[in-house]
Structure formats: structure tokens, C-alpha cells
């Protein structure tokens, strides 16, 4: 399976999905013109990945900001990961937030309450 590697821009996050390593990373800002268009290849990739995932899938989410339409797409990504988790594979989500960013911490906690995967809230000191 080919990895996905997308260079971040001021409006879109840096994305690195690597099936060989079992890593899924999204970092930066997510305010794309069309969130569905941006996230669809990622959801499709996870769809393919779930047929033969690594024993441990490590998910690193480090967003400084995302808009409402991105939040729905991020939820779709998490739902695919939840399917992998429910099929007996280990999935761990590392949700990074800056120490004074209550909104990003709350966003992570909201996802954690919806998606049944282990989340680790990791504070980044500035």
C-alpha cells in the first residue's frame, strides 16, 4: 500500500499515512476550501488499510486549528480507525494540544467520548 504524504499549507494540514509503519499523522491547520475533497483520499486509504492493518496503529493528531467542516471529516477518519480497533487490532490516538489551548483539548475529549479507541491527551509546552 502506498503511503500518503501531503505537505501542509496555511489552510491544510501536513498528512503522513504509512501502512508499513502503521502510522497516521495529521499536523497543522485544517481549514481547506473543501474539507470533504481534502479528507476523502485519507478516509479511502484507511478503508483499504483496514483489510490488513498493523498490529498497532499509532495515530498522531496535532492540529492548531480546524474548522467545523474539517471536524466532521476528522470524525470520519476516527470512525475508520474505530473499525480497525473493533476488529481486534491495537489503535492508539495521541491528541496533541498546546498547554493554553482549552478548545483543542476539549475537541480531543469530544472525539474521545464519541469514538471507542484509547486516546492519550498530550500537552505541548510552548
* pTM score above 0.85: yes
Give me the domain span that covers residue 30: 4-124
Could you count the other beta carbons within 10 Å of the beta carbon of residue 113?
Answer: 9
Span 115-124, average pLDDT: 97
The C-alpha atoms of residue 51 and residue 59 are separated, in whole angstroms, by 17
For residue 32, what pLDDT is reported?
97
* Helices 68-86 + 102-114 axis angle, to 10: 40
The C-alpha atoms of residue 47 and residue 33 are separated, in whole angstroms, by 24
Question: Residue 24 pLDDT more than 80?
Answer: yes
Span 117-122, average pLDDT: 97
Domains contained in the chain, number? 1
For residue 59, what pLDDT is reported?
98
Task: Please report, for the domain that includes residue 26, its CATH number.
Answer: 3.30.750.24
The C-alpha atoms of residue 25 and residue 42 are separated, in whole angstroms, by 11
Span 69-79, average pLDDT: 98
Amino acid at each position: 500500500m502506498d503511503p500518503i504524504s501531503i505537505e501542509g499549507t496555511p489552510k491544510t494540514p501536513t498528512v503522513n499515512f504509512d501502512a508499513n509503519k502503521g502510522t497516521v499523522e495529521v499536523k497543522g491547520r485544517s481549514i481547506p476550501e473543501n474539507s470533504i475533497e481534502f479528507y476523502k483520499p485519507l478516509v479511502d486509504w484507511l478503508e483499504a488499510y483496514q483489510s490488513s492493518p498493523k498490529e498497532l496503529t499509532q495515530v498522531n493528531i496535532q492540529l492548531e486549528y480546524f474548522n467545523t467542516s474539517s471536524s466532521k471529516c476528522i470524525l470520519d477518519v476516527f470512525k475508520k480507525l474505530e473499525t480497525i480497533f473493533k476488529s481486534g487490532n491495537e489503535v492508539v490516538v495521541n491528541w496533541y494540544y498546546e498547554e493554553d489551548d482549552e478548545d483543542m483539548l476539549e475537541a480531543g475529549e469530544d472525539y474521545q467520548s464519541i469514538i471507542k479507541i484509547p486516546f492519550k491527551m498530550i500537552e505541548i509546552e510552548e
